[in-house]
Chains A and B, each alone.
Chain A
Amino acid sequence: MMQTPAKRFSFSKLLKRDWREWLTFLLFVGPNLGLFVYFTYYPLIRNVLLSFQDYNTFIDEGEYIGLTNFVDVFTDSQTSVILRNTLVFTVAVVGIILVLGLMVALLLNQKLRFRNGVRSLIFSPTVLAGSAVAVVWIYIFDPRTGLILQLAKPFGINPPAWLLDPASAMIALIIVYVWKNLGYATVIYVAGLQAIPADLFEAARVDGANAVQRFRHVTIPGLSPVIFFLAVTSVLTSFQAFDLIRVMTGGGPINATNVLIYRLYEVGFGTNSSIGRASVIGLILFVIMLVVTILQLRYLERRVSYA
């Protein structure tokens, strides 16, 4: 075989060619990566530093004050209320979305007429602006003219004052959040259901398994990665219900719907704002999200090693 000059090893040529490849790579990736470094990684570190500082926004400088911000946040009587609200809200919306979403997906996975249309309908609220959804639901909940009132009146039912009553405001918020976000879970569930091989169901049927047994032993195990994916993403997105809360309740009445992300906004950007204390709340939020994400990674690792 004849050896061509091009195939002979040439260090300088290789370097020259690679150098151009590297430049191309940096050019293509650089802007994206640079923005991430400056607006994601750097602020993560700076957030930690800020939580130990008393920051003066007028002179744009901070002074280290030790753990004062942490002490302030954790001794604030509102903090425990807000943590409890966050827990209640997240557990409720994630639980309802996981269960209801699966039920709706099982329904829409059957061979029914119009099922694609209904699937589109149920997905549509997820693309609407949260603040627009919020004003529509304020109108629906309105205790004088609202839709719920008008529907309940003929039956002699007296609905609660919803957003105006601390006892029912959180329930109202959960209803709206589920209404808006159920479609996403449904779509993911349907895709998961369709990914389960049909012969598994066939084999179970041949073995004499009834519908409940098939659901318990084929559907649920087959869906488990999807359920886990949805559980994690739902927890993470539930921390982002800011627009609904801000427009519908402003965290009230009397803090009944105030959750971590809303408190972060209040403390950092409301009246008597404190950059330091807001950073502490941001840190709490980050730690919770980190724990949830690590749980997901560990689970995925296990899944891969089993496969």
Chain B
Amino acid sequence: MSLRAQSVLFKSLSYLGMVALIVVIGLPVFWLVTGAFKGNREILTATPQFLPRSFQFDNFARAWTGAKFSTYYVNSIATTLMGATAEIVMAVTTAYALVFVRFPLRNAVFILLLLALMVPEQVVIVPNFLSIARMGLLVTKGGSLEIADFVRGWLAIFLPGASIAFGTFLLRQYFRTIPMDLTDAAKVDGAGHFSTMINVIVPVATPAIATTGLLSFTAKWNEYLWPLIVTYSDQLRTLPIAISRLLDAEGNTEWGVVMAGAIFVVIPVIIVFLFAQRFVVEGLAAGAVKG
């Protein structure tokens, strides 16, 4: 076989591989989206139905009203906003202090943060559960909840995960590449640390901060184990936990409604990533390859 033929064959095989990849990754997504528009009769048919006969929004309406999705959305949005905001603010201030503020134990503090990166949340859920209970943040009462109960429940979900090690590490690496001239100029102008951070560092580091924020946002939005443990009332559940309530234990699940519910859960993350995906992918990869 000539070299040219060989290269053509190789290219074709590569494209074939790519098509296989698209099918394997894409088909479940396709099945999710089309399923959400199918009626129950179309789903239970003996012959495969790849496309819904007519696009109906019936399933979405039924998922929304049938399973209190509005409450779950409020809980998810509240806890995600609290968590992601806290993480971004603390990642920026901590990384700034570690790079630009003089303190004798600076490196010890940095190592302490690095070590925290290696302790997975799962191994400390039992003692943290007891701590949250002792702080009076567990909402155990049934019936309809008041605003104060919601706030307590949100705090219980938010607090243990509010600190941030990975983002701090990412931003510290980024801040170190910022030329000292910039901060020195601000200092000459008489700016304190707070105004230097807000007016000089944050504008320069916006891409890295955005990456950190997006990672925090998805992690909080998708969080499952901890919110499951600290919420008893159905009114405090977040979206990822609520979705499985649409499944029917007796095996008579209405798949169209469940798929519509799943779309409610993933759509905010999908929208955010459509705009910012390259950003995050590059940030993650840079952290792994250079870090």
Contacts and interface: CB of A to CB of B under 8 A. Distances in A.
Interface of A: 18, 21-22, 24-29, 31-33, 35-36, 38-44, 46-47, 50, 55, 57, 60, 104, 107-108, 110, 112, 114-115, 118-125, 127-132, 134-140, 142, 144-145, 147, 150-151, 153, 179, 183-184, 187-188, 190-192, 195, 226, 229-230, 236, 239-240, 242-243, 246-247, 261, 264-265, 268-269, 275, 278-279, 282-283, 285-286, 289-290, 293
B53 interface: no
A195 B218 CA distance: 28
Most buried by B among A121, A124, A247: A124
21 contacts: A24-B193, A31-B93, A32-B164, A33-B109, A36-B112, A43-B124, A44-B119, A107-B14, A110-B14, A112-B18, A122-B25, A124-B277, A136-B32, A138-B247, A147-B27, A187-B284, A226-B288, A246-B244, A268-B126, A282-B126, A290-B118
B255 A145 contact: yes
Contacts of B125: 264, 268, 282
Nearest to A48: B127
Given A127-B270, A144-B44, 20 more contacts: A21-B103, A36-B116, A39-B124, A40-B119, A43-B127, A123-B277, A127-B218, A131-B241, A135-B244, A151-B48, A179-B24, A179-B25, A187-B284, A188-B289, A195-B289, A264-B122, A264-B125, A265-B225, A283-B123, A286-B123
A129 B222 contact: yes
A187 B138 CA distance: 40
B57 interface: no
A242 B103 CA distance: 41
B35 A139 contact: yes
Contact of A39 (B17, B128, B286): B128
A275 B130 contact: yes
B269 interface: yes
B50 to A, nearest CB: 9
A25 to B, nearest CB: 4
A125 B25 contact: yes
A123 B25 CA distance: 9
Given A112-B15, A187-B284, A247 B130 contact: no
Interface string B22-48: 101111110110010000000110001
Given A239-B120, A240-B122, A191 B286 contact: yes
Nearest to A45: B127
Interface of B: 11, 14-15, 17-18, 21-22, 24-29, 31-32, 35, 43-44, 48, 90-91, 93-94, 96-98, 101-104, 106, 109, 112-113, 116, 118-120, 122-131, 133-134, 159-165, 168, 192-194, 218, 221-222, 224-225, 228-229, 239-241, 243-244, 246-247, 253, 255, 258-259, 261-262, 265-266, 269-270, 273, 277-278, 281, 284-286, 288-289
Given A28-B93, A28-B97, A130 B222 contact: yes
Given A242-B225, A278-B126, A107 B18 contact: yes
Interface of B: prevailing SS:
helix
Contacts of B229: 265, 269
A-B pairs, top 9 by smallest CB distance, nearest first, are A191-B285, A35-B163, A43-B127, A28-B97, A43-B124, A243-B224, A150-B48, A25-B103, A28-B93
Contacts of A127: 218, 222, 269-270, 273
Most buried by A among B26, B27, B94: B94
A56 to B, nearest CB: 11
A57 to B, nearest CB: 7
Contacts of A114: 18
